[in-house]
Amino acid sequence: MNRAEWNKLAGTFEKNVCDISREETADQIRRYVDAAKIPKRGGVLVDMGCGIGSFILQHGHRFAEIVGVEYASSIIARAKRRCAGVSGVTWHTAGVEAAGKRIGPRADLTVCMNVITVPSAAKRGALWRGVSAVTKRGGHALVVVASLEAERMIQKVLGEEPATHPNGLVDHDGALQKHFTRDELADDFAHAGFAMKKIGKAFYPWSKEGLRPTPKLRKSPPWDWVALAQRL
Ligand SMILES: C[S@@+](CC[C@H](N)C(=O)[O-])C[C@H]1O[C@@H](n2cnc3c(N)ncnc32)[C@H](O)[C@@H]1O
């Protein structure tokens, strides 16, 4: 999806977008933030592709300074309104790729959740470099990506023919979206200059996949990969 397409979703973001920090069901994101050991004083958060600001709303109070980066102007406008009560926030209507030049390597924690989705490997490389560029050495990055393993599980549940998904590209309503295997996420993080600390599943409700959860389905919900790594 491009910037214009994201802008069109601003008004219905909660309904149409999986906003993982609001929707995950096992409180994993908080545990990963805890594991990042944010300094008690003066901690800096950079949220790359912050959407309507859900992570900042939930976890912003743990930081002295917060930078929200989002390229869709109608979406960042909603983030600003929703986060009006959070202090110390600076907003950049900008691409993740170029944010490093504006912000510099300052983040104790960089988050980038469900933003690295573009089909082009070169464009994903630029997003990873953006994440790296704003994270200070020894700081952490928390990245959430769509899981290819979960996609295969969902297909099975839906009784669909197993698709091959070349290069992890999955068709979502006519738009190709990159899905990562667990190993691929670890490799990309390492390539961006990080040492992996923790990688796991951030579960979200079946309703996001358009399914009514039966008791059986409830036991095995779909998930995104969530990973925490330290900048070398
Ligand atoms: C799936 S939403 C996730 C939002 C938020 N991180 C969350 O987890 O709720 C992806 C967001 O990233 C933004 N985005 C996508 N590519 C971007 C880029 N290259 N630079 C800045 N923002 C981007 C979109 O506009 C959208 O708001």
Whether the CB of 50 sits within 6 Å of ligand 1: yes
What range defines the domain where residue 212 resides? 3-231
Does residue 131 contact residue 143 with C-beta atoms inside 8 Å?
yes
Residue 202 main-chain phi, psi, to 5 deg: -110, 105
Whether the CB of 21 sits within 6 Å of ligand 1: yes
Whether the CB of 117 sits within 6 Å of ligand 1: no
**Nearest of 193, 173, 189, 172 to residue 227 by alpha carbon:** 189
> The CATH number of the domain where 200 resides is what?
3.40.50.150
Q: Of 16, 29, 115, 225, which is best to mutate to test ligand 1, by the most ligand atoms within 8 angstroms of its C-beta?
A: 115
Residue 210 CB-density burial (10 A; 0-12 exposed, 13-18 middle, 19+ buried): exposed
**Structure-block tokens of residue 216:** 């059986």
pLDDT at 159: 85
Crossing angle for the helix pair 182-191 and 121-134, nearest 10 degrees? 60
CA dihedral 209, 176, 124, 210 (to 10 degrees): -10
Partners of 140 in beta bridges: 109, 230
List the chain pLDDT tens, one digit each, 232 residues. Answer: 899 999 999 999 998 888 888 889 889 999 999 999 899 999 999 999 999 999 999 999 999 999 999 999 999 999 999 999 999 999 999 999 999 999 999 999 999 999 999 999 999 999 999 999 999 999 999 999 999 999 999 988 888 877 778 899 998 888 899 999 999 999 999 999 999 999 999 999 998 888 888 888 888 999 999 999 999 9
Whether the CB of 57 sits within 6 Å of ligand 1: no
**Which stretches of 25-134 are assigned E, i.e. beta strand?**
44-48, 65-70, 89-93, 107-113
Total number of domains constituting the chain? 1
Cα–Cα dist 208/183, whole Å = 25
Q: Ligand 1: which residue has its CA nearest to atom 20?
A: 95
**Structure-block tokens of residue 89:** 């926030």
Query: How many of the other CB atoms lie within 10 Å of CB of 87?
Result: 11
